Amino acid sequence: MGTSIDEKAGSVDNIEDLNQRAQNEVNYDEEYTTAEQRKIIHRVDRRLVTMTGLAYCVSLMDRTNLSMALVAGMKEDLKLDVDPRYSIIVLMFFVPYVIFQPPMTVITRKLGPTIFLGTIVISWGAILVGMGFTKDWGAMTGCRVLLGVLEAGYFPGCVYLLSSWYSRYDVQKRFSIFYLIGCVASALAGILAFGLSKMHGTEGIQGWRWIFIIEGVITGVIGILTLIFLVDFPDRAHKSWKFLSEKECAFIVRRINRDRSDGDNEPFNLKKFLLPALDLKIWGFAMIFLCTTTGTYAIAYFLPVILGGMGYDPGQSQCLVAPPFGLAGIVMFSTAWVGDKYRVRGLVIIFNSVLCIIGLAIMGFAQNNPARYFGTFLAVAGCNANIPSCMAYQANNVRGQWTRAFSSATLVGFGGIGGIISSVAFREKDAPGYRPGIWTTIACNLLILVIVAALSLWFRRCNRQADEGKRVIEGSPDFRYTI
């Protein structure tokens, strides 16, 4: 995970050997005052975070509306009560979602996020409309496979793009707002699905089909907005429509170089892209994300079903999904503010994981339904707040454009594996308690505590050796790991 100073010296082929030194004062700039810098960064926030978050909002809504449609009549129409058909439909989204993420991340950088990400958002909206007209569970599975291929490019592309724009201790709040917009979608998706299901019989179409059709149309509109308003990477964002000037973009690149020395574009090289695979910490971050998403996907795909098992009718189950995400938003932004202000990452992840463990235990093993529903608040808050925390933890501790691209792809790819685990762990035959799934998600959060503790000890050791002049971290004498 670390490399000695002797190993680094003179390495012209190493991806991290950038011939620049990160400076401690990222807020200094020779062109702009602090107030002017803040205005530029806020313009980036309004355009970049809002647009990526809006499209991710429909991404979350589109991949998790399956559970809403299930309780609205899809289960009976597509004969999904035969085990394990529903789990297969859930799982098959994640197979291409994991496989296609590394190449999709490279394509995002090569083609530019505006055209590429905007196009795939429009495309998966069309697939979603098609899901509303499927006649059997096999066709639905095929649509989910296509959806997985298309969505494979979006989330890692956004993680890569966002981390390229912000300094290390500005990034978690932005990740949180980005993901918080998605949480709003998750919170409102149930209510929206409940309303759309009431269109049952309109034009002779069942209510659950209207959920997919209308949400597909909404997705297509968001995709068009993405094509217009999403911005490029900092080194070429001055070409984006009505955005920053070339001089202002140059300031962003200087700021990133002062912080971590990787703001300039690097030509693609397969060796540079794959070399970070030898770095164990990259896989540590990925495993943390896998364990986190096992919980988030389990909640997204099975919470309405679990609520139904508590005795709530389909409409109540769809609507009761919303309130826990309100608490999740509060916890998410609060922990992000603490993380950025005090420059800590691992402790925030540990706090969120402990919160999730407590919630899962109450949700799975309490004896009365009000207590179990209270447990969903803690579980939803803990696992969802850890998504931006993990993204920031990874983004703070890697350097180099293609290291960042590879790390983003592996992080989100392992997140997709978490979705596969949740779809296998939560089985129809285990309803309504889903005890094996609850135990699996608790175990994942315990594993997060172990991995974060190991990384923290390693980072602390590397930083101490760097302070003593015995080690250069990530190719820079000034770079330090964020613990």
pLDDT per residue over 251-271, tens digit each?
Answer: 999 999 888 877 777 788 788
Q: Is the pLDDT of residue 4 over 70?
A: no
6: pLDDT confidence band, cut at 50, 70 and 90? Answer: very low
Q: Is the pLDDT of residue 8 over 60?
A: no
Burial tier of 462 (Cβ tally within 10 Å: 0-12, 13-18, 19+): buried
Higher pLDDT, 319 or 292: 292
| Tokens describing residue 115 | 């055209």
The CA-based diameter of the chain, rounded to the nearest angstrom, is 74
Give the per-residue pLDDT at 260. Answer: 84
Q: Is 92 helix (H, G, I), strand (E, B) or coil?
A: helix
For Cα atoms 128, 134, 137, give the angle at the middle one, nearest 5 degrees: 110
273: pLDDT confidence band, cut at 50, 70 and 90? Answer: confident
Q: Is the pLDDT of residue 22 over 70?
A: no
For Cα atoms 214, 385, 334, give the angle at the middle one, nearest 5 degrees: 115
Mean pLDDT (the chain) is 88
Give the per-residue pLDDT at 5. Answer: 35
Q: Is the pLDDT of residue 442 over 60?
A: yes
Least confident of 29-43, 48-62, 198-212, 272-286: 48-62
User: Is 252 in contact with 44 (CB distance < 8 Å)?
Assistant: yes
Instruction: Classify domain 35-252+277-467 at the CATH topology level.
Output: Growth Hormone; Chain: A; (1.20.1250)
Q: Is the pLDDT of residue 369 over 90?
A: no
**C-alpha distances in angstroms, 388 versus 178, 181, 262?**
8, 12, 21
Burial tier of 388 (Cβ tally within 10 Å: 0-12, 13-18, 19+): buried
| Tokens describing residue 231 | 């911005």
186: pLDDT confidence band, cut at 50, 70 and 90? Answer: low
Buried/exposed 177-197: b ≥16 CB within 10 Å, e otherwise = bbbbbbbbbbbebbbbbbbbb
Residues in the chain: 483
End-to-end CA distance of the chain: 14
Least confident of 19-28, 42-51, 75-84, 403-412: 19-28
Cα dihedral across residues 346, 322, 174, 15: positive or negative: positive
| Tokens describing residue 334 | 């609060």
Nearest to 333 by CA among 392, 419, 416, 280: 392
